[in-house]
Amino acid sequence: MKQSGLVVASHGRHCVVETPDGERRICHPRGKKSQVVVGDRVQWLASTDEGTIEKVEPRHNLFYRQDEIRTKSFAANLDQVLILLAAEPEFSEMQLTRALIAAEAEHITPIIVLNKRDLTELHARAFARLEPYVKMGYTVLQGAFKTGDLGDLPERLKDKTTLVLGPSGTGKSTLINALVPNANVATAEISQALNSGKHTTTSTTWHWVDAERKTGLIDSPGFQEFGVHHIDAMQLAAYMPDFKPHVTNCKFYNCTHLHEPSCGVQDAVASGAISPSRYKLYGMLFAELTQPVNY
């Protein structure tokens, strides 16, 4: 008999499905290609000690990155994405912009969190770089996870499914261990079950923050690059809140905002409504998304 379940971990050709009563079972998707990601709601069929995924329920959204070669899916059915940055190491504004664009494209609410507030001088400098994002309307929070200062983050996560995203060294593990005391144990158990050995951090894992299992936190592996090749270059400006209001002022409907006359975006850059650094990022991303792919 088919049962419903939630995918809480995925590694290679295996995944772990959690039943409504909290039991977890290793499952294998049918067919050669695994399409199952953490956060998927599925119908599965039990065998002796494992199970088979029979059906993946329709998703509300899917957060993923894509470069020229491969697509990497993080998680599905998210309420929000927590983009974790830190006072050090210095964050990349390009990587932040890419993650924000990917979230906007899937209609997922992004929250930017700047960790290591205890490094006063470095933190002030980093927060100043985030001021434009506050003006754009993004939620930007601060904390010092190492000292137990999580700010109002626990309240922001309550009753929601949140993917935690960020490069290594930002305090992702510290945050998850503060919110989910047995997170390391749970991850180790899942990894052992999936035979992923010492590569535990390469898999994405779902943690419940509360006993009622209403607040879900998804831990994702760190990454160096965040490809956005799944985004249409002509839609790029629509996913950037500081650009979007000015697009309607362009004379041409297919304006690239790079060289056309009577362009609302270029006028906004000239008037200071869009910062030169953000316009430069746009130009670099547009060039990347329109260059021919060499197979």
What single string gives the DSSP state of each residue in 52-115? EEEEEPPPS-EEEEE-SS-EEEEEES-SEEEEEEESSSPPPHHHHHHHHHHHHHTT-EEEEEEE
Q: Which residues line the annotated binding site for Zn(2+)?
A: 250, 255, 257, 263
What's the chain's Rg over C-alpha atoms?
21
3-state secondary structure of 193: helix
pLDDT at position 175 over 80? yes
Q: Which residues contact 98 (CB under 8 A, 6 or more apart)?
A: 65, 226, 227, 228, 285
CA distance 278 to 281: 5
pLDDT at position 120 over 60? yes
The region of weakest confidence among 219-223, 228-232, 291-295 is 291-295
CA distance 195 to 198: 9
Q: What residue ranges in 12-61 does DSSP mark as E strands?
A: 14-18, 24-29, 41-46, 51-56
Q: Which residue reads 């957060």 in tokens?
A: 63
Q: Which residues line the annotated binding site for GTP?
A: 115-118, 166-174
**How much is the average pLDDT of 48-74?**
86
Q: What residue ranges in 134-208 does DSSP mark as E strands?
A: 139-142, 161-165, 204-208
Structural domains in the chain plus CATH codes: 2-56 (2.40.50.140), 62-219 (3.40.50.300), 233-290 (1.10.40.50)
Report the pLDDT value the prediction gives residue 10, as an integer from 0 to 100.
84
CA distance 267 to 270: 5
Confidence of residue 277 (pLDDT cuts 50, 70, 90): very high
Q: Which residues line the annotated binding site?
A: 115-118, 166-174, 250, 255, 257, 263
Tens digits of residue pLDDT in 185-213: 555 565 666 654 444 445 788 999 999 99
